[in-house]
Amino acid sequence: MTTPLTDSSAEQVRAACAAAAAAAPAWGLTPIPQRAALLRALADALQAAREALVPLADEETHLGPVRLNGELDRTAFQLRGFADQIEAGRAQPVQDDEAVPGAPPAGRPRLTRVAVPVGPVANFAASNFPFAFSVLGGDTAAALAAGCPVVVKAHPGHPRLSRAVAELAAAVLPAGVLQLVEGAGTAVGVALVRDPAIAAAAFTGSVRGGVALWKEANARPRPIPFYGELGSVNPVVALPSALAANGAALATQLAGSIVLGCGQFCTSPGLVLVRDDEPSRSFVRQLAEALAAANPHAMLNAGIRANFNAGVARLHGRTGVKSLLALPAREAAPGAHLFATDAATFLADEVLHEEVFGPSCVVVTVRDLDETLRVLAAVEGTLTVTLWGADEDTPAHRRLVAGAQAIAGRVLFAGVPTGVAVTAAQQHGGPWPSSTNGFTTSVGYAAIERFLRPVALQDAPAWLIAARGQA
Q: Which phi-psi region, left, alpha or beta, contains residue 261 (left: φ > 0; alpha: ψ -120 to 50)? A: left
Q: What are phi and psi of 123, to 5 degrees?
A: -120, 120
Whole-number Å distance between alpha carbons of 416 and 257? 7
Task: Please report, as a single letter, which amino acid is at residue 437.
Answer: N
- Measuring CA to CA, how many Å separate 109 from each of 116, 215, 367? 21, 40, 60
Whole-number Å distance between alpha carbons of 168 and 406? 42
* Residue among 266, 355, 361, 371 flagged as catalytic: 266
Selection from 135, 120, 214, 211 nearest residue 170 by Cα: 135
* Residue among 71, 182, 229, 371 flagged as catalytic: 229
Selection from 135, 179, 142 nearest residue 161 by Cα: 135
On the question of a cis peptide bond just before residue 105, with omega within 30 degrees of 0, the verdict is: yes
Give catalytic status of residue 392 as yes or no.
no
Q: H/E/C letters for each residue in the chain?
A: CCCCCCCCCHHHHHHHHHHHHHHHHHHHCCCHHHHHHHHHHHHHHHHHCHHHHHHHHHHHHCCCHHHHHHHHHHHHHHHHHHHHHHHCCCCCCCEEECCECCCCCCCECCEEEEEEECCCEEEECCCCCCCCCCCCCHHHHHHHHHCCCEEEECCCCCHHHHHHHHHHHHCCCCCCCEEEECCCCCHHHHHHHHCCCCCEEEEECCHHHHHHHHHHHHHCCCCCCEEEECCCCCEEEECHHHHHHHHHHHHHHHHHHHHHHHHCCCCCCCEEEEECCHHHHHHHHHHHHHHHCCCCCCCCCHHHHHHHHHHHHHHCCCCCCEEEEECCCECCECCCEEEEEEHHHHHHCHHHHCCCCCCEEEEEEECCHHHHHHHHHHHCCEEEEEEECCCCCCHHHHHHHHHHHHHEEEEECCCCCCCCCCCCCCCCCCCCCCECCCCCCCCCHHHHHHHEEEEEEECCCHHHHHHHHHC
Q: Residues 400, 402, 404, CA angle at the centre, nearest 5°?
A: 70
Give catalytic status of residue 229 as yes or no.
yes
Q: Supply the residues annotated as catalytic.
A: 229, 266
